[in-house]
Structure 1
Amino acid sequence: MNRKITIVGAGSGAPDLITVRGAKAIENADIIIYAGSLVNKEVLNYNKKNAKIYNSATMHLGEVIGVIVDGVNNGLNVVRVHTGDPSIYGAIKEQMDELKKYDIGVDIVPGVSSLFGAMSSLQAELTLPDVSQTIIITRPEGRTPKPQSEKISDLAKHKATMAIYLGVGMIDKVVNELLEGYELDTPVAVVYHATWEDEKIIRGTLKNIAKKVKEEGITKTALIIVGEVLDPKRYEYSKLYDKTFETEYRKAEK
């Protein structure tokens, strides 16, 4: 008996942004446990086996593990579906550790993070020469604690491109912390439901983004992206495609 389950990253929202491997896993599943508060339910339409569906939004960890163990013990194909990519705030480590107790392994299928979905909608690049070559992915401290060394106020001092998950509901606090490092006129974008049909983009600066977000009534499922890459005053073109730059594949032109 194959004592493994598949953890699938469902992508940022649009059902056709799931990977081919992820869609095939869902297609062949007998049991699907999906994060119903975040995953677009349309991805479940890939299933062709009339799978039994569980919404983990209403379940605690013990219940999720119980369903998985019962399914595996009965020789069924179990698929756990997470939003975006499961390696970012996916809480998969604890599930894998619990499953080890039952000698159940996992295969993980990566997904398109909401960060990359948001950037595609913003038609922007996270890394620009001479502007930012570093991306910081973080979240504010809420009920889930953070290491003291990872305060947003401290991270902001790097002035790198920053993507803040799970922070739009405390936008004032987030902005105040960001201002410990960034300038008041630093560009900010808040993307609600990136790549979903009801996607909404709010652009501004650290001076006005909190007011704009409140006016739109956005309190959750939105990503905050901060940095000059969103509206650079200037930047250098990449050396990779510079005709005067020689690579192992191309001679430089004089």
Structure 2
Amino acid sequence: MPTAENKQDTVRPGLVSFVGAGPGDPELLTVKGRKAIEQAGLVLYAGSLVPPAVVACAGAGARVADSAPLTLAECHALVRDAALAGENVARVHTGDPSLYGALREQAALLDRDRIPWRVIPGVTAACAAAAAAGVTFTVPEATQSLIISRMEGRTPVPERERLAALAAHKTSLAIYLSAHEAQALQEELSRSLPPETPVLCAYRVGWPEEKLIRTRLGELADSVAAHGITRQVVFLVLPAALKKGAASRLYAEDFKHGFRK
């Protein structure tokens, strides 16, 4: 007859889902992400960035824990214990887990412990900010690229990815995790872009206290300071907004493709 210990050994590990919560609006959570939260025995979310309303759909018997005060080892211990007990786990990240989400190190620990995992994408703040402000990153014949990056802070940035070098391409930029360095950000971008370059400062997109501040590069630091913003801002730098550009060829009468002769 199997012992209690042997029974424990035969329990199939639960599935860990890294859920992209989007920028903060619970309605921007994907259907798949919501289901993962509803079906989880443990919901671990980044409370410093993810509003409690996003995980309010957790089941009545689920344990909901804030990962903000925890270390990587402490987070993994909670996830591991729940998964090895056969529970599904929803590890809820702000935005999309593939951007600044510490996904690699968490997944490596799960692989080590032979715990299955998956990633459910979320709406990244850059796209949510563009939608909220009604702006576009791409303008035909002006720019067709978007660069996502950040200022150097406690996490270094490779020299080849310094913002002045990236801005020299004159493409759209989405800059994360840099609100506390607004003056340095302005100075770095000004090495490659003119002071009249349009910038959108999008604060807590999708939260009730959302702010969309339209400014210019030469006034960026002053605009951030005037609104008392020090965190949770994505900066959209839009050089192409100064150009007329051209209409998209997609719907032009003389543009033929497989679905329109």
TM-score of the superposed pair, with normalisation by structure 2: 0.93
Tell me if structure 1 keeps the 8 A contact 2:149–2:176: yes
Q: Secondary structure at the match of 2:18?
A: strand
Q: Deviations over 1:113-155 (max 9, x none)?
A: 1111101111011111122101100001100011111111111
Aligned to 1:71: 82
1:234 aligns with 2:244: yes
Q: 1:7, 1:247 → 2: CA distance? A: 38
Aligned to 1:147: 158
Q: Which amino acid aligns with 1:83?
A: T
1:13 aligns with 2:55: no
The aligned runs of 1:5-154 (5 Å cut-off) are 5-154=16-165
Residue among 254, 257, 260 paired with 1:250: 260
Using the TM superposition, give the Cα deviation of residue 3 of structure 1 relative to its aligned residue in structure 2, in angstroms: 4.5
1:196 aligns with 2:196: no
Tell me if structure 2 keeps the 8 A contact 1:27–1:49: no
Tell me if structure 2 keeps the 8 A contact 1:189–1:202: yes
Tell me if structure 2 keeps the 8 A contact 1:29–1:49: no
Q: Secondary structure at the match of 1:207?
A: helix
Q: 2:176, 2:144 → 1: CA distance? A: 20
Q: 2:106, 2:65 → 1: CA distance? A: 16
Using the TM superposition, give the Cα deviation of residue 53 of structure 1 relative to its aligned residue in structure 2, in angstroms: 1.3
Q: 2:253, 2:89 → 1: CA distance? A: 52
Q: Which amino acid aligns with 2:253?
A: K
Q: Deviations over 1:184-239 (max 9, x none)?
A: 1111110000121110011111111211110110110000110134x344110000
Residue among 205, 212, 215 paired with 2:223: 212
Tell me if structure 2 keeps the 8 A contact 1:130–1:235: yes
Using the TM superposition, give the Cα deviation of residue 244 of structure 1 relative to its aligned residue in structure 2, in angstroms: 2.1
The alignment of Structure 1 onto Structure 2 pairs a total of residues equal to 250
Q: Which amino acid aligns with 1:33?
A: L
Aligned to 2:182: 171
Q: 1:65, 1:176 → 2: CA distance? A: 39
Structure 1 unpaired stretches of 5+: none
Q: Which amino acid aligns with 2:83?
A: V
Structure 2 unpaired stretches of 5+: 1-11
RMSD over aligned Cα atoms: 1.1
Q: Which amino acid aligns with 1:13?
A: G
Q: Structure 1 residue runs of 4+, over 3 Å off?
A: none
Q: Deviations over 1:16-75 (max 9, x none)?
A: 100000000001111111000001210111112331111110100000010111111211
Q: 1:165, 1:220 → 2: CA distance? A: 10
Q: Secondary structure at the match of 1:6?
A: strand
Q: Which amino acid aligns with 1:91?
A: A
Using the TM superposition, give the Cα deviation of residue 105 of structure 1 relative to its aligned residue in structure 2, in angstroms: 2.3
Tell me if structure 1 keeps the 8 A contact 2:82–2:89: yes
Q: 1:79, 1:36 → 2: CA distance? A: 14
Q: Which amino acid aligns with 1:154?
A: A
